[in-house]
Amino acid sequence: MRLAILAHEKFPDRAKTAVGLLRYTDHEVVAVLDRDHAGDRVRDHIEDVQDAPVVAGIDDVPDIDAFVVGIAPIGGGFDETWRDDVTGALERGAEVWSGLHYHLADDEAFAALADEHDTRLWDVRDPPEDLTVAEGVARDLDATVVTTVGSDCSTGKMTATCELVEAARERGWSAGVVPTGQTGIMIEGWGLPIDRTISDFTAGAVERMLVERAEEYDYLFVEGQGAITHPAYSAVTCGILHGSMPDALVYCHEAGREAVHGYESFSLPDVGAHASLYENLAEPVSPTSVVAGSLNTSKLSEEDARKAVDEFGEALDEPATDAVRFGCEEILDAL
Amino acid sequence: MRLAILAHEKFPDRAKTAVGLLRYTDHEVVAVLDRDHAGDRVRDHIEDVQDAPVVAGIDDVPDIDAFVVGIAPIGGGFDETWRDDVTGALERGAEVWSGLHYHLADDEAFAALADEHDTRLWDVRDPPEDLTVAEGVARDLDATVVTTVGSDCSTGKMTATCELVEAARERGWSAGVVPTGQTGIMIEGWGLPIDRTISDFTAGAVERMLVERAEEYDYLFVEGQGAITHPAYSAVTCGILHGSMPDALVYCHEAGREAVHGYESFSLPDVGAHASLYENLAEPVSPTSVVAGSLNTSKLSEEDARKAVDEFGEALDEPATDAVRFGCEEILDAL
């Protein structure tokens, strides 16, 4: 499919979904919409991803199959300055994918246009109605389940998960991603938004995805969310940990981060102790262990990054890497 | 208010909400509906609660202000054999309270009747739309926060919470319940169904209740749910633990239970180790400790119960009691 990604005024640093898609989607990105950077190319801003033109609006976008809302304002609402772009995409018959809390399918104008042009509005953060509680069966699946966990939100769990699957496939392993958040779901084209499920069904939703995919793959890499000690999001993390009943954990951290992002009065625990806490919390449900770590070193020089990864590995007492910068071989070897 | 409670074919052993209301509500229960036991009295089946006649249907119920659905079939659907009872209650102008997954307010016939008779359908498991993520502020509140935790579901956390508040008030303490489940919400007349919130908002919903009530009370007792090592429900428990940021924990267990209820292939952890795991999981967010335990000994003789409580206290290495059978003084002393 040919995609255009809306990222007005936020590309690339505040456009996590846009950048995730540019890096990992199998689809072709033919344009990024950012009126502040119209005329640039993606590669003017970010390396190691698909290149595409940056354009001001839908009129400058070539033929597309899907139009993606690749940013979210605080609160997850719909910015009315995007309406012409979404309308234009629907009028061309393109699908529109969105991870906003505001569901485009509930917008009467968009719903009518999608109907008229026989195309799809895909609200990826709208979980299905028929989710249920976990049955506790993920430990019995044939596939080897690896779940990414971490010290905090935005430490690179989705990125590490995607890198691991790419590297595993290069080794010839049968490996798949189990996406749990909006960006991962858009990259993979399926998945459940675990942060939007009813809290009672958190583990059950993860379990359902694993059961669905376990026969297809030998290795399933579950995209983690948050942290089990996050003051706001720990419920989601705990549900993923117990719902996935992983055979192994990969611990993700960002170099230099010492406090919870957005909750700066909460210090992050020591990574070694934190990794043990994940193991201890998992143990009564399904024993597992942290087998490796991935450190996001994107803000460091190459030399400092190597040093930080070494220190991180010593603190974890496990093999470590930066999955994006230095590859995933240490982690795959540890599995 | 004068209440009637529907519990057809399930009173008392499979009617947790009905029994909880009979034991703890400040309202007057004037009838329990159970067509299998019509003609009995509540006290024929259960001691230490309000007495009331057991009747076959709404026509045998005296004047009421509210009609409560006090049972839930597996799946939480509405049993059509109850329709005449609910209809009769609405036609009298009574409120109808329900904890079913099936929302009575979405039933067109019930909604029309409630409208016609100017009364309220209260679906207690329907959380408000405006919940948000936690801000991480519960640790800064003036009130002393005590959260009940436990080895499993149905170990007596709601019961212990209600008993603690009653006993604290008898001591002259300013104490309130923070209800997190349907029965507690019906008993207290307010609260948020934490198991039905969006998973991202689990901790935030608990925090909101504490912020609302902290100025009113010196002690807030938070009704816990599930267990942090429950294969299906741990997300809810983890959100309550971190959202409430408690000053103290009270650990609840049922005598003789060795496996997770309904998930019998999962053994329960040793209670001492489990209590430590709660403390370790809470610590990076807001340090706390298990200060006492309550053991549900309802299936044991008095002598066996005393012995079981002693052993439980030794395993926890903290003061212990059965909050219903032997009172809460040990727990309040430990606070």
User: How far is the C-alpha of A296 from the C-alpha of B154, rounded, in Å?
Assistant: 42
Sequence-separated (6 or more) residues with CB below 8 Å from residue A95 = A65, A66, A67, A119, A120, A121, A122
Would you call A75 exposed, middle or buried from its count of C-beta atoms within 10 A (0-12, 13-18, 19+)?
A: exposed
Contact between A242 and B230 using a beta-carbon 8 Å cutoff: yes
B 48-87 residues inside an 8 A Cβ radius of A: none
* Three-state secondary-structure class, residue A68: strand
Minimal C-alpha gap between A307 and chain B (Å): 27
- From B135, B203, B281, residue closest to A281, measured CB to CB: B281
B169's CB contacts (< 8 A; 6+ apart) are: B175
d(CA B194, CA B188): 15
Q: 3-state class of A193 per DSSP?
A: coil
- Please calculate the CA angle A164-A76-A147 and round it to the nearest 5 degrees: 20
Residue type, A318: E
In this prediction, residues B290-304 reach a mean pLDDT of 97
What is the pLDDT, as a whole number, of residue B48?
A: 86
pLDDT tens-digit map of A135-155: 999 999 999 999 999 999 999
With a cut of 90, say whether residue B315 has pLDDT above it: yes
- pLDDT at residue A73 greater than cutoff 80: no
Whose tokens are 């059961």? That residue is A211
Please list every residue in chain B whose beta carbon sits closer than 8 Å to the beta carbon of residue A231: 134, 136, 203, 242, 245, 285-286
The pLDDT of residue B73 is 75
> What value does the mean pLDDT take over residues A257-278?
97
Distance from C-alpha of B310 to C-alpha of B326, rounded to nearest angstrom: 12
Band of the pLDDT at B101, cuts 50, 70, 90?
Answer: confident
Flag if A235 and B233 touch (Cβ within 8 Å): no
Of B135, B238, B269, which is closest to A235 when you measure between CB atoms? Answer: B238
Structure tokens that stand for A319 in this block: 């093999």
Contact A194 B196 (CB under 8 A): no
Alpha-carbon gap, residue B270 to B118, rounded angstroms = 53
**For the residues B56-73, what does the mean pLDDT come to?**
94
**Smallest CA–CA distance from A239 into chain B, residue:** B235
Over the stretch B197-232, which tens digit does the pLDDT of each residue have? 999 999 999 999 999 999 999 999 999 999 999 999
Q: Which domains does chain B have, with CATH numbers?
A: 2-123 (3.40.50.720), 138-334 (3.40.50.300)
pLDDT at B234: 98
Chain B CA closest to residue A271: B284
| Rounded-to-integer distance, Cα A164 and Cα A152, Å | 19
**Chain B residue with the nearest C-alpha to that of A262:** B135
> Using one digit for the tens of pLDDT, what is the confidence trace for A164-199?
999 999 999 999 999 999 999 999 999 999 999 999
Q: Do A269 and B284 touch (CB under 8 A)?
A: yes
How distant is the Cα of B318 from the closest Cα of chain A, in angstroms? 22
B12 touches chain A (CB under 8 A): no
A181, A184, A189, A193 alpha-carbon torsion, rounded to 10°: -10
- Which residue among A195, A196, A200 places its CB closest to the CB of B236? A200
Mutate which of A200, A258, A277, A288 to test chain B, going by most B C-beta atoms within 10 A? Answer: A200
The secondary structure of B52-112, three-state, reads CEEECCHHHCCCCCEEEECCCCCCCCCCHHHHHHHHHHHHCCCEEEECCCCCHHHCHHHHH
Q: Which of B200, B234, B286 lies at the smallest CB-CB distance from A238?
A: B234
| Run of H or E residues at A87 | helix A83-91
Mean pLDDT of B227-250: 98
- Please give the Cα distance from B223 to B147 (Å, whole number): 6
Give the gap in angstroms from C-alpha B236 to the nearest C-alpha of chain A.
6
The mean predicted confidence, pLDDT, of chain A is 96
Angstrom distance (rounded) from CA A274 to CA B280? 10
Window A:246-265, CB contacts with B under 8 Å:
263, 265
Mean pLDDT of B231-244: 98
Chain A touched by B199 (CB under 8 Å):
yes
B125 has a chain A CB within 8 A of its CB: no
- Count, in order, helices (H) and strands (E) of chain A: 10, 14
In this prediction, residue B69 has a pLDDT band, given cuts at 50, 70 and 90, of: very high
At residue B154, φ and ψ (nearest 5 deg) are 50, 45
Q: Hey, what are A237's tokens?
A: 């993390």
What is the percent of chain A with per-residue pLDDT over 70, rounded to a whole number? 100
CA atoms in the 13 A half-sphere facing the CB of B257: 26
Inter-chain residue contact A238 with B235, CB threshold 8 Å: yes
Q: By the 8 A CB rule, do B51 and B73 touch?
A: no
Residue pairs between chains A and B whose CB atoms are closer than 8 Å: 145
Q: Strand A320-321 and strand A290-296: pairing?
A: parallel
| Alpha-carbon gap: A283 to the closest alpha carbon of chain B (Å) | 8
Q: Do B200 and A135 touch (CB under 8 A)?
A: no
User: Cα separation of A43 and A35, whole Å?
Assistant: 16
The token pair at B195 is 């198991």
Average pLDDT over residues B93-100: 96
**A147 exposed, middle or buried (CB, 10 Å; 0-12, 13-18, 19+)?**
buried
Chain B residues within 8 A of A136 when measuring between CB atoms = 231-232, 263, 265-266
Q: Which residues of A touch B234 (CB under 8 A)?
A: 203, 238-239, 241-242, 285
Q: Per the structure block, which two tokens stand in for B223? A: 């009704």
Asked if B131 is an interface residue toward chain A (Cβ–Cβ < 8 A), one would say no
Confidence check: pLDDT of B286 > 90:
yes
CB count, 10 Å around CB of A213? Answer: 17
* Whether the predicted pLDDT of B75 surpasses 90: no
d(CA A335, CA A314): 18
Is B203's CB within 8 Å of A235's CB? yes
Instruction: List the end-to-end C-alpha distance of chain B, in Å, as a whole number.
Output: 34
| Structure confidence at residue B7 (pLDDT) | 97
| Residue from A125, A238, A265, A279 whose CB has the most chain B CBs within 10 Å, to mutate | A238
Tell me the C-alpha distance between B283 and A300, whole Å. Answer: 31
Helix/strand/coil percentages in chain A, nearest 5: 35, 20, 45
CB neighbourhood size of A47 (10 A): 8
ipTM of the complex: 0.94
Asked if pLDDT for residue B76 goes beyond 80, the answer is no
Token duo for residue A5: 């990604």
Q: Do B242 and A230 touch (CB under 8 A)?
A: yes
Q: For residue range A210-237, what is the model confidence (pLDDT) as tens digits? A: 999 999 999 999 999 999 999 999 999 9
Alpha helices in chain B (DSSP H): 16-24, 83-91, 108-116, 157-170, 182-188, 202-213, 234-244, 271-282, 302-316, 329-334
Q: Check CB contact under 8 Å for A136 and B266.
A: yes
Please report where in the chains the tokens 């190459």 appear, as a residue: A302
Confidence of residue A101 (pLDDT cuts 50, 70, 90): confident
Per-chain mean pLDDT for chain B? 96
Query: Which of A136, A229, A233 is facing B200, going by the closest CB pair?
Result: A233
